[in-house]
Amino acid sequence: MGDTEKDRLASSVADRHSEFEQALAGDRRKYPTREFRLFAEAARRYVEKTASDEMIHRAVIAAVHGLVAYLRVERKRIPAEVLVEAERLECLVFLGYDPHFDGDEPPGL
């Protein structure tokens, strides 16, 4: 994969993160779950396409680093699925593995 493709994917993550933050700042009554899902999909796509790379794009790091802590501080009521997915994204980006098996459980569980 070329650098331009990586930059495009990272830009998509940053754009979706920006849209999510704007939605958070907008309507205080309804949590912007849709915008968060779009951001999470873009981040997973980036991780999937760049899994063999040693370095992570700065825009992706800025969007995902501290995401769980930020979400917990930003609002009192957060859908559980959002926190689970945020933790999953942090693991995928920084540790390189998915902590949720979803059908790939080890034998005996």
> Taking the model in full, what pTM does it have?
0.82
Q: How many domains does the chain have?
A: 1
| AA letter at 16 | R
- CA dist 22 and 17 (Å) reads 9
Measured from the Cβ of residue 35, the count of other Cβ atoms closer than 10 Å reads 19
Residue 80 falls inside a structural domain:
yes
pLDDT tens, N- to C-terminus, the chain (109 residues): 567 888 899 999 999 999 999 998 887 788 999 999 999 999 999 988 887 788 888 888 889 888 888 888 888 888 889 998 998 888 888 876 566 655 555 565 5
Question: What's the confidence (pLDDT) of residue 102?
Answer: 59
Distances from the Cα of 101 to the Cα of 68, 88, 98, 108, angstroms:
20, 11, 7, 13
Question: What's the confidence (pLDDT) of residue 20?
Answer: 93
Domain limits for position 69: 3-95
Residue 105 falls inside a structural domain:
no
